[in-house]
Chain A
Amino acid sequence: MEVPILKQGEYLIASVQVALSDQDLLALQQRLSALTGTQEVRGVVIDVTVLDVLDSYAVRILRMISEVLALRGARTIIAGIQPEVALAMVRLGLGLEGVETALDLEDAMEKIARRGKSRSPEGRSTWPPLSRNT
């Protein structure tokens, strides 16, 4: 099952629709990598709201996608991890260190808007600079 990828401004949005097999995840990584690497695409939001399990393999692929895209000069935001799934992930010992996260697609778009066009140096800061308003 191919994951649909939409373009929204300078960002790509990949909306996962059904439980993904390992092959699907790898295919997603390849497509996203191919679509980025231009000035027109600053980043990718992967919406995983529908996934009810993220096991070690899936998490590893998500992390790899983020690393690959960082090398291609793009930012990755994983949006919509369900509370139970997050709990299982941390119990399993799986974090998404270095990968940006958002509550859902709306939150991801907000985070993108807040950060504007500035790109964080390491491509991982979840938060606007603290000095912004002080």
Chain B
Amino acid sequence: MAAPFEKYLEPLAIEGERDIVSARERVRDAARGLGFSAVELTLLATAVSEIARNIIEYAGHGTISLRLSDSGRNPGIEVVAEDRGPGIENIELALQDGYSTRRSLGMGLPGARRLVDEFQIESTVGKGTRVILRKWKTSTKAA
């Protein structure tokens, strides 16, 4: 089974669109360090780009933290994106394709979900949103 995420990297502040580029570069470096294939690390970097953009668009600012698991048989990365924005009222709706309350295409969350192995979201209206993505070196998602 998967080993725990034992290595925490310094959280990255997401405050402007420049930080979106930094966030995906950082996750790309981390994934490369764990031996991810070019395909897998691009999928993950793209997902991070989407959730970082979501932070900017809906909350204005937030953080993205990476946690690595590299002691087990299948190394992995956990990405935690947090903001103290307005929160999402209807998560199910937000995860539907094409849903958007603002100017983006609404690809953000449902798109990011399709690119990773595990996807979790918690949100409280008025408090903020936390999105967790996990991806393993050998993808565990079959269907």
Contact = CB atoms under 8 A, between A and B. Distances in A.
B42 A85 contact: yes
A23 to B, nearest CB: 7
B24 interface: yes
Contacts of A21: 17-18, 20-21
Interface stretch (B5-13, B44-52, B127-135): B44-52
Interface stretch (B65-73, B87-95, B107-115, B118-126): B107-115
Interface residues of B, number: 26
Contact of B97 (A55, A57, A60, A93): A93
Contact of A52 (B28, B50, B107): B28
Interface residues of A, number: 22
Interface of B: 17-18, 20-21, 24-25, 28, 38-39, 41-43, 45-46, 49-50, 53, 97, 104-105, 107-108, 110-111, 114-115
Interface of A: 19, 21-23, 52-57, 60, 82-85, 87-89, 91-94
